């Protein structure tokens, strides 16, 4: 069996284990490093299990992709990551980086349960950091923080350990002020969602040079900020990357700190759906029941040159399969599912079925638009996704 086929099988196995799934978005102010970080995670995950991940196999992946002429369109990508001896399926939904796509950012947030907020260490929290945080929190999506471009503090700004620490703590402080202000009025968020170094909900590093650290990673690798400053100053970035790879730090943080669908849906459903909370449908959505009625929220419509329109979205209940006749909110007739797939490293891969808790790529939903509720029974649609307006920020 080919390697790719094995990976698809592994993803299909993990799709049925909601406790091992993390649906996440990376959100950032423009130019803070979201694209570079996303590329890093994909390369780092290598789409192979960490057990067998070696230089050779990682290389194979790239060669394979080059040969097949795949260019990754990061709208939706899935990867697997081994954390504490257990493989996890991480579905990453891209959020457009520009302010004028505010509506799309919120749509992406509807499909995920965790948002990794990336902030440039030099610039600090910017207006769009606030907007993406607001979009995440309004959807009941939990934030964590990655402070990027730390290499610039060391190499360009020549900061020492104390100065660096002060600057990083001030970024964390600013982000927490925003989170605190926004969650104050939210009764359904009972946990403390502010981020901190001590509990590992903050990571630091350089997406450009592919290294990262967090409190748990420092404990694991034995590397502290002093070592990092020394290596970065000595221009030993490859060594830094090898000793404390960014993708491990970030993907461990994702697995540890973001809720899985079983934890997230009971809290998120009342926030995004105003139907009868006592109904069976509400119950199957809260429980992520793959045997319940099918409920899918479409977050994005893409065009595939061969397959035509593809509706991507989060399955909140039931299992989507080829041949199902489904209702599409706002239209009178039903649509027939032509195919279902998942995204693997950015490429759509057809599968037999996609159960609740996952992101599905569906063809045949002719009447669906981004924001549609698609279901096997007629139902109250999800709350419409509100566009959060913000001042236009020009790129400097
Ligand atoms: P996005 O707009 O958030 O997707 O940002 P990009 O990933 O496109 O990065 C914007 C610019 O910052 C690019 O020129 C990157 O090479 C650069 N960049 C990204 N991450 C880092 C980093 O960790 N260190 C440095 N020095 N530059 C970075």
Q: What is the pLDDT of residues 88-145, one digit of tens each?
A: 999 988 766 544 445 566 678 899 999 999 999 999 999 989 998 998 999 999 999 9
Instruction: Specify the residue for token string 């049925």.
Output: 16
Q: How many Å apart are CA 138 and CA 134, to the nearest integer?
A: 6
- Of 150, 153, 208, the residue with max ligand 1 atoms within 8 A of its CB, to mutate for a pocket test, comes to 208
In short, whether 36's Cβ falls inside 6 Å of ligand 1 is yes
For ligand 1, atom 25: residue with the closest CA: 149
C-alpha of residue 37 to centroid of ligand 1, in Å: 8
Helix, coil or strand: residue 392? coil
More confident residue, 130 or 60: 130
Average of per-residue pLDDT values in the chain: 86
- What's CA 105's distance to the chain center, in Å? 12
Residue 50 is predicted with a pLDDT of 34
In short, whether 97's Cβ falls inside 6 Å of ligand 1 is yes
C-alpha of residue 21 to centroid of ligand 1, in Å: 28
The answer to whether 264 and 113 have CB atoms below 8 angstroms apart is: yes
Predicted structure pTM score: 0.89
pLDDT (mean) for 371-377: 95
C-alpha of residue 263 to centroid of ligand 1, in Å: 33
Q: What are phi and psi of 43, to 5 degrees?
A: -65, -45
Residue 126 has a CB neighbour count (10 Å cut-off) of 17
More confident residue, 19 or 65: 19
Q: Which atom of ligand 1 is nearest to the CA of 206?
A: 23
- Of 31, 97, 116, 395, the residue with max ligand 1 atoms within 8 A of its CB, to mutate for a pocket test, comes to 31
Q: Is the pLDDT of residue 369 over 80?
A: yes
pLDDT (mean) for 368-393: 79
Per mean pLDDT, which range of 29-38, 179-188, 384-393 is the poorest? 384-393
Q: Is the pLDDT of residue 66 over 50?
A: no
- The winner for highest mean pLDDT among 185-194, 274-283, 384-393 is 274-283
């Amino acid at each position: 069996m080919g390697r790719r086929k094995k990976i698809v099988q592994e993803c299909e196995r993990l799709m049925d284990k909601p406790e091992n799934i993390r649906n996440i978005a990376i959100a950032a102010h423009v130019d803070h490093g979201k694209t570079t970080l996303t590329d890093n995670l994909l390369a780092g995950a290598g789409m192979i299990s960490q057990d067998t991940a070696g230089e050779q196999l990682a290389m194979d992946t790239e060669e394979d992709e080059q040969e097949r002429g795949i260019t990754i369109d990061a709208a939706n990508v899935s990867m697997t990551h081994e954390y504490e001896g257990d493989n996890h399926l991480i579905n990453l939904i891209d959020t457009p980086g520009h302010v004028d796509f505010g509506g799309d950012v919120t749509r992406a947030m509807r499909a995920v349960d965790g948002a990794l907020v990336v902030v440039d260490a030099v610039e600090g929290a910017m207006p769009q950091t606030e907007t993406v945080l607001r979009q995440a929190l309004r959807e009941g999506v939990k934030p964590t923080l990655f402070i990027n471009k730390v290499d610039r503090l060391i190499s360009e700004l020549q900061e020492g350990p104390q100065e660096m620490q002060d600057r990083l703590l001030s970024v964390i402080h600013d982000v927490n002020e925003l989170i605190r202000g926004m969650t104050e009025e939210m009764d359904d968020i009972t946990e403390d969602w502010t981020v901190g170094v001590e509990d590992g909900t903050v990571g630091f590093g350089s997406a450009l040079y592919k290294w990262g650290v967090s409190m748990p990673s420092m404990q694991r690798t034995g590397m502290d900020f002093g070592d990092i400053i020394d290596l970065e100053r000595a221009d030993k970035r490859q060594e830094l990357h090898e000793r404390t790879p960014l993708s491990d730090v970030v993907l461990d943080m994702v697995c540890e700190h973001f809720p899985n669908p079983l934890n997230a849906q009971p809290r998120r459903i009342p926030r995004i759906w105003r139907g009868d909370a006592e109904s069976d449908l509400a119950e199957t959505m809260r429980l992520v029941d793959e045997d319940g009625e099918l409920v899918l929220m479409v977050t994005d419509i893409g065009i595939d040159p061969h397959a035509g329109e593809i509706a991507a979205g989060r399955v909140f209940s039931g299992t989507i399969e080829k041949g199902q006749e489904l209702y599409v909110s706002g239209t009178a007739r039903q649509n027939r599912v032509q195919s279902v797939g998942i995204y693997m490293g950015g490429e759509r891969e057809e599968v037999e079925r996609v159960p609740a808790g996952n992101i599905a790529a569906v063809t045949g939903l002719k009447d669906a638009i981004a924001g549609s509720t698609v279901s096997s029974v007629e139902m109250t649609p999800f709350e419409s996704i509100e566009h959060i307006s913000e001042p236009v920020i020009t790129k400097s």
